[in-house]
Amino acid sequence: MTAISVELRSAVPPYEQIRSQISSLIAIGSLAPGSRLPTVRSLAADLGIAAGTVARAYKELETAGLIESRRRNGTVVLAPGDAPPPEVLAAVEHLAETARKAGVDGETVLQLLRGRLK
């Protein structure tokens, strides 16, 4: 896998840096469908951060439909057809960033989104 790095002095939380980098690698094809990602513990050790930070990044990538954690096969990149369209991912990314900047918590954003989708 292409190197992932975390800048601890950045205003962007480490989990978001990891999520963003992996998402970008998938989008440009550097991580092909079926590619296995490092284990949470392995990547955390490589980056010198807590395993929970990597787990949060992986969870968000899984929620976005970009990866899937499989018991015996580890965490793998999903095929593009299995993931939401890029424009939806971009819109979700924009929404998340806007909410963070405005100080709106995730649960409130989810409630607003659920209301709009009804």
Tell me the per-residue pLDDT of 23-59, one tens digit each, with 9 for 90 and over: 989 888 889 999 999 999 999 999 999 999 999 999 9
User: Residue 110: what pLDDT?
Assistant: 86
Q: Where are the domains of the chain?
A: 1-79, 84-118
Q: Please list, in sequence order, all residues whose beta carbon lies within 8 angstroms of the beta carbon of residue 38, skipping any fewer than 6 positions away.
A: 1, 46
Q: Tell which CATH architecture fits domain 1-79.
A: Orthogonal Bundle (1.10)
Q: Is the pLDDT of residue 93 over 90?
A: no
How is 10-72 classified by DSSP, letter by letter? Answer: SSS-HHHHHHHHHHHHHHTTSS-TTPBPPPHHHHHHHHTS-HHHHHHHHHHHHHTTSEEEETT
